[in-house]
Chain A
């Protein structure tokens, strides 16, 4: 595809439920990033993948959050036992290599009720 795509665009879930957010990076991009943008804030780094491995997951807020990228392309961000404070726009970005410009997807807006 031409850009980074994310599905779903919107997700509403009840507190305590499990959600998965998907990111399809630009073809050929080896680096992939997840960011979270809460209301009134700038995007905050969550995790960075180089290939299949999570090179830096220091931004994940707690162990309810987990992300995978099993084949080095598509990535899934998984949130267990969702809380209302998890409501935010989750942005995915990819870049050709880790020190090249990241391109962002449109985000998934997660609302936890």
Chain B
């Protein structure tokens, strides 16, 4: 039972355009969400996060939007750069449920930014 779902295995965009990566979750206990970026042969690196008390968090070219009623979040990258090409993982955990150490990950979306 996948509690965090990334339904698009891959996404291809042109350099300079917007990349939108989507994530859905089913567990209502999740109240903190993170996006990780992973290059081949490296571990996931933290990108941006959002707590359930917010609906938007922005950091430079990266913005995460959270729609709690729809149990949906998205990561926007504007403008996309070739160096953004990587696998992006959505992850969640329940801080209020006492499981703030245990991340549940989606399967990831491979983003390719074409020059």
Q: Which residues of A are at the interface with B, using a C-beta cutoff of 8 A? A: 4, 9, 31, 33, 35, 40-45, 48, 50, 55-56, 59, 91, 93, 95, 98-99, 101-107
Q: Is the CB of B43 within 8 A of A31?
A: no
B6 to chain A: closest residue by CB: A42
Q: Is the CB of A40 within 8 A of B107?
A: yes
Q: A42-B89, A42-B107 are in contact. Are A106 and B4 (CB under 8 A)?
A: no
Q: Is the CB of A104 within 8 A of B45?
A: yes
Which listed residue (A33, A40, A43, A98) contacts B105, Cβ 8 A?
A43
B16-75 contacts to A, CB under 8 A, are 36, 41-46, 49
Smallest beta-carbon distance A12→chain B, Å: 16
A-B pairs with the 10 shortest C-beta distances? Answer: A42-B105, A104-B43, A99-B100, A98-B101, A104-B44, A43-B105, A106-B43, A48-B101, A42-B107, A105-B43
